[in-house]
């Protein structure tokens, strides 16, 4: 029964990201290609490691969190207006992210692989987190909010409350929550400044 909730979460993630992809195709969103390319790699590693460690349906949202960013990466090439110029920070974070992926190939131990995948994914996400805070108009929160819901459904399918099943979903919720807040923080502050100026 619980696996159906996980499938629902993956479907919600796909639907939410479809809005993000549509905005990207229109040139409204400007996804960081370093982030989205590497975001498609690390979850795949975590999925493989989780399956090898005996994790079950709980890995589906993790797989979705890798496959869906790859669709965004491809969409960013469709419209030149969707291009975001990469900085030195993007390349540095990307390089360290790749190093983490290579280390996983050397370690070959499921829990260590998941930890390295989280480090890699986090480093890949830092440029987008920073960009979302500084230039929220280049992002939209729909995909990230959907990913939070999707990752949350993992807990319904967890059979063993251990590192291999818990680590990546918890990380995904934390990272996507941070980016969602970064994208929406100006609107949130504007809302509260209208409703209760004393809060500011």
Q: Is 109 left (phi over 0), alpha (psi -120 to 50) or beta?
A: beta
pLDDT at residue 140 tops 50: yes
The whole-number pLDDT of residue 45 equals: 72
pLDDT at 176: 95
pLDDT category, 132, cuts 50, 70, 90? very high
| DSSP, res 73 | H
Q: Are 34 and 76 in contact (CB under 8 A)?
A: no
Domain regions of the chain by residue span? 2-199
Q: What is the pLDDT of residues 49-83, one digit of tens each?
A: 777 767 666 677 677 777 888 899 999 999 888 88
Looking at residue 75, its pLDDT comes to 93
């Amino acid at each position: 029964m619980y696996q159906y909730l996980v499938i629902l979460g993956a479907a919600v993630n796909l639907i939410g990201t479809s809005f993000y992809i549509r905005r990207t195709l229109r040139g409204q969103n400007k996804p960081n290609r370093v982030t989205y390319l590497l975001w498609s790699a690390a979850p795949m590693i975590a999925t493989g490691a989780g399956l090898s460690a005996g994790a079950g349906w709980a890995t589906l949202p993790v797989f979705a969190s890798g496959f869906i960013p790859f669709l965004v990466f491809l969409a960013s090439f469709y419209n030149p207006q969707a291009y975001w110029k990469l900085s030195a920070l993007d390349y540095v974070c990307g390089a360290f992210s790749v190093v983490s992926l290579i280390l996983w190939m050397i370690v070959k131990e499921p829990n260590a692989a998941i930890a390295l995948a989280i480090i890699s994914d986090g480093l890949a996400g830092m440029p987008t987190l920073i960009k979302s805070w500084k230039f929220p108009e280049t992002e939209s929160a729909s995909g990230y909010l959907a990913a939070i819901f999707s990752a949350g459904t993992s807990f319904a399918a967890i059979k063993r409350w251990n590192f291999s099943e818990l680590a990546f979903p918890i990380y995904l919720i934390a990272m996507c929550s941070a980016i969602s807040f970064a994208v929406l923080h100006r609107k949130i502050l504007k809302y509260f400044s209208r409703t209760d100026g004393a809060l500011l």
